[in-house]
Structures are given as structure tokens and as C-alpha cells.
């Protein structure tokens, strides 16, 4: 995919570890020619992780549930670029009480945290940097298929359904500005977030058994490359879409 992001600047959120999809997307975006700016909840940690990228990338502190962080985000990004061509939303969080089969007992406060952080934040993030996007650009969010219920995923599944709906409405309202909004629904991967779900390892094995193309939960590169493709100019007439990178499981079922 060398060159498909030449001359573009992409904001990548949600880098936590080198196993995260966001990290792999940042890496693939740089290899495709993009200037990359990272955000993280713990910038010192993300700065260390950024040293593993092919090229240096600035890191901006960002808590998407903090109004002050969102208010200042545009100016902090503008310290490194005069425009953004793409944004990767790779942010999701649910309190432990909202996962692991506790669906009927989860208090509203924890549900609200999951929905705020994992769904509403897509709108918050994009709204904060919209003045830098001008006419055109691409927004890509990371999803996990919310068309069905998954064991132990519980209120995070509800939040992902909210993310999918939010993306469709953003596609409607940002389309006249030439901005595309799409999601990539990946299969289970060995990430920090997946480790918080009790049977994530079993899910990976089951997924591989049912994926017609097979599935390697240790390989985030196919997902990252799908994100890069959607951030590029190769999908100029695609918006409001969910691209599945799951080995084909979504079309097969278990």
C-alpha cells in the first residue's frame, strides 16, 4: 500500500500497546506515506510506544470524555499540521461490571460510561477536529459486529451498536462537506481490550474454526490495512459502511 496516503496527515487515537489495532494502523499509515499524529490517555506511555513506529510521531494527551481536552484538541493538533485528512477512532471502554455476563446487574452509571466513551466519543472527536478537515477527508472507527449478541460482551456490545448508528448519522451530516465516515469490524484480536473479556481466548479459537479464510487473532495487520484503505482516496464514494475484516465469519455465523 506504499504511497496511498502520500501527503496526507492522519490523527490516530487509542494507542495503548504495540499490540493495539491503533498502533498497527499508525505503522501502516506511515508506511503508506502519511504524517501521523497520535493521541493517548497516558502520553508518556504512548511516547515510548511511538518509538517503535517507522518514523517519529507527536503525541497529544486526550481523554475523549473530558470537555477541556476536546476544546483544546484542534489547537494542539494545529501545532503539528495545518490540516487533517483522516481520523482513526480507536477508543472503547466499559467498566468491568458491564462485561462478563453481568448484563442484568450493571448500573446505569457504568452503562453511561461505556456508551459515552465508546460511541458518543466518535461524534465528540470528529466535532473537535472538524475545522481542520476542511472539504474532504475520511473518518474510520473500529467496531466489533453489533448485529448479534456475543457472550460476555454485554453492554460493550450495546455501545458498539451505538457506535455503528453514530457513524451512520455522521456520514449523513458530514457528507455535504465531502467527509466519509466508515467503520472496520474486526474479528477478535489479542489486544488489551480483548483481554478484559473472560473467554476472549476461546472466542479466537472458535472464530478461526468458523472463518472460511481462517483467522489469526495475533495478526492485526489485515485490520490496520483496511483502515488505511478507507483513509485513502480509493473509497471516495463509500460512507456509512461497515467493512468486516473477520475472515468471513460475519457471513457464515457460528
Section 2-11 average pLDDT = 94
Query: Who has greater pLDDT, 99 or 205?
Result: 99
Nearest to 85 by CA among 133, 47, 125, 155: 133
Greatest mean pLDDT range, 1-10, 89-98, 198-207: 89-98
**pLDDT number for residue 2:** 73
Mean pLDDT over the full length of the chain = 94
Retrieve residue 65's grid coordinates. 470524555
> Please, which residues have CB within 8 angstroms of residue 136's CB and are 6 or more apart in sequence?
85, 177, 178, 179
Lowest mean pLDDT among 14-28, 124-138, 147-161, 189-203: 189-203
Each residue's pLDDT tens digit, 63-101: 999 999 999 999 999 999 999 999 999 999 999 999 999
With cut-offs at 50, 70 and 90, classify the pLDDT of residue 135.
confident
Each residue's pLDDT tens digit, 139-164: 999 999 999 999 999 999 999 999 99
Nearest to 60 by CA among 93, 15, 124, 121: 15
Nearest to 126 by CA among 168, 165, 181: 181
Starting at the edge strand that comes first in sequence, how are the strands of the sheet with 242-245 ordered? 59-61, 35-40, 9-12, 86-89, 137-143, 179-186, 242-245
Each residue's pLDDT tens digit, 230-247: 999 999 999 999 999 999
Retrieve residue 196's grid coordinates. 478484559
What 3-state class would DSSP assign to 49? helix
pTM of the model: 0.94
**pLDDT number for residue 198:** 46
Cα separation, 8 vs 22, in Å, equals 17
Amino acid at each position: 500500500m506504499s504511497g496511498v496516503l502520500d501527503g496526507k496527515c492522519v490523527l490516530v487515537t487509542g494507542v495503548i500497546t504495540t499490540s493495539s489495532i491503533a498502533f498497527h494502523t499508525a505503522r501502516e499509515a506511515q508506511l503508506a506515506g502519511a504524517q501521523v499524529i497520535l493521541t493517548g490517555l497516558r502520553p508518556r506511555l504512548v511516547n515510548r510506544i511511538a518509538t517503535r513506529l517507522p518514523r517519529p510521531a507527536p503525541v497529544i494527551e486526550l481523554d475523549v470524555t473530558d470537555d477541556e481536552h476536546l476544546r483544546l484538541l484542534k489547537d494542539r493538533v494545529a501545532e503539528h499540521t495545518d490540516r487533517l485528512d483522516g481520523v482513526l477512532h480507536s477508543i472503547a471502554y466499559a467498566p468491568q461490571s458491564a462485561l462478563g455476563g453481568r448484563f442484568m446487574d450493571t448500573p446505569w452509571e457504568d452503562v453511561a460510561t461505556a456508551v459515552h466513551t465508546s460511541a458518543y466519543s466518535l461524534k465528540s472527536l470528529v466535532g473537535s477536529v472538524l475545522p481542520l478537515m476542511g472539504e474532504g477527508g475520511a473518518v474510520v472507527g473500529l467496531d466489533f459486529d453489533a448485529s448479534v449478541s456475543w457472550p460476555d460482551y454485554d453492554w460493550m456490545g450495546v455501545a458498539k451498536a451505538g457506535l455503528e448508528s453514530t457513524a451512520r448519522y455522521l456520514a449523513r451530516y458530514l457528507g455535504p462537506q465531502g467527509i466519509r465516515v466508515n467503520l472496520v469490524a474486526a474479528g477478535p484480536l489479542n489486544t488489551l481490550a480483548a483481554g478484559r473479556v473472560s473467554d476472549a481466548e476461546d472466542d479466537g479459537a472458535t472464530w478461526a474454526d468458523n472463518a472460511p479464510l481462517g483467522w489469526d487473532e495475533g495478526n492485526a495487520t489485515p485490520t490496520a490495512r483496511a483502515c488505511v484503505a478507507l483513509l485513502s482516496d480509493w473509497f471516495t464514494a463509500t460512507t456509512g459502511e461497515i467493512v468486516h475484516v473477520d475472515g468471513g465469519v460475519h457471513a457464515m455465523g457460528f
